[in-house]
Chain A
Amino acid sequence: MRSPRPTRSAGTFEYGMWLFTRISGLALIIFGAISLGIGFALGGRQYLTMPAMFRWMFFPNPNHIVNSNIPDVTLGWSNAFWQIYSMLMIFLATVHGFNGLRMVLEDYTKRPLLIAILRGLTLLLLLGGIIVAIYVILAS
């Protein structure tokens, strides 16, 4: 029998990230399903390739979708709704992903100094990713 996991008490950083991982994971699935459905409704049903569907699902902005051969791509996708939608998704996805990376790294690291350095590097990558993504969203 395995020993039970240490319980997480509410209010700590680890508990917050544990909860955030669940909520953001479910939210990303729902967001992806909604923008895939709207991609179909805007004429994407004719171009069913896997990369095109991933483009509608996970980063719906004109710059990204222009590669998937949908006609009139700028009419449907270039407005504030999709800009906010993309930014929200980018925030959820990057924090979810880099928190996962942090958890994996901390599973195999013991020294506190190394953990602190790795946390700092992960935070830098997270911020860099968010800044690049927001630049792409606003520039397109």
Chain B
Amino acid sequence: MELSRSVSILSGLRYRGRAGMLTWLLHRITGLGILLFVGTHVTVSFFGQQFGDDLAFAINSVYESWQFQIFVYFSVLFHAMNGSRLAVMDLFPALIRYQRELIWLQWLMFVPLYGLPVYIMIQNALSGV
């Protein structure tokens, strides 16, 4: 059966796919975010290294700031954890029945793995370490 791709934004917002929809959406957004970040970082570093471009160093210093790294860490950790869950579910299709529980388990692991380093990063940044 062919899936209809031409869905209006309004009916897309009204669709309630619950936990699986949120992880799907976040996986897509974080994936595109990582691609954009890595792509611009590689391009900019190349110009900085070859031509000593000032704009390149400015962009890279924004990328290294703790404020930006909070988003980078969220994207990489979420994309990696969600991707591993998908790969494990594809390896053992019996697990697909328990998708809801697996997503809860994933969030349960994600919160400390994300929150603790970010807490330390903010603490270090504010105390000027």
A interface, CB within 8 angstroms of B? 3-4, 6, 22, 25-26, 28-29, 50-51, 54, 63, 93, 97-98, 100-101, 104, 107-108, 110, 125, 129, 132-133, 136
User: For residues 9 through 64 of chain B, which have their beta carbon under 8 Å from a beta carbon of chain A?
Assistant: 28, 31-32, 34-35, 38-39, 42-43, 45-46, 49, 63-64
- Known contacts A97-B31, A97-B35; decide if A26 and B87 are in contact (CB<8 Å): yes
> What's the nearest-Cβ distance from chain A to residue B48, in Å?
11
- Chain B residues within 8 Å of A110, by CB: 5-6
B66 interface neighbour in A26, A50, A108, A136, Cβ under 8 Å = A50
A107 and B5 contacting across the interface, CB-CB below 8 Å: yes
> What's the nearest-Cβ distance from chain A to residue B81, in Å?
9
- Known contacts A104-B28, A129-B42; decide if A50 and B73 are in contact (CB<8 Å): yes
B contact residues, total (Cβ < 8 Å)? 31
9 nearest A-B residue pairs (beta carbon): A50-B69, A22-B87, A25-B83, A97-B35, A51-B64, A3-B1, A100-B31, A132-B46, A29-B80
Is B90's beta carbon under 8 Å from chain A?
Answer: yes
A97 and B34 contacting across the interface, CB-CB below 8 Å: yes
- Chain A residues within 8 Å of B64, by CB: 51
Inter-chain pairs besides A101-B35, A104-B28, 19 sampled, C-beta below 8 Å: A3-B1, A3-B3, A25-B80, A25-B87, A51-B69, A54-B72, A97-B31, A97-B34, A97-B35, A98-B35, A100-B32, A100-B35, A104-B31, A108-B5, A110-B5, A129-B39, A129-B42, A132-B43, A136-B49
Is B102's beta carbon under 8 Å from chain A?
Answer: no
B86 and A22 contacting across the interface, CB-CB below 8 Å: yes
- Chain A residues within 8 Å of B83, by CB: 25-26
> What's the nearest-Cβ distance from chain B to residue A104, in Å?
6
Is B84's beta carbon under 8 Å from chain A?
Answer: yes
> What's the nearest-Cβ distance from chain B to residue A111, in Å?
12
Is B103's beta carbon under 8 Å from chain A?
Answer: no
A-B contact pairs, 23 of them (CB 8 A): A22-B86, A22-B87, A25-B83, A25-B87, A26-B84, A29-B84, A50-B73, A63-B49, A93-B38, A97-B35, A97-B38, A100-B31, A104-B28, A104-B32, A107-B5, A110-B5, A110-B6, A125-B39, A132-B42, A132-B43, A133-B42, A136-B45, A136-B49
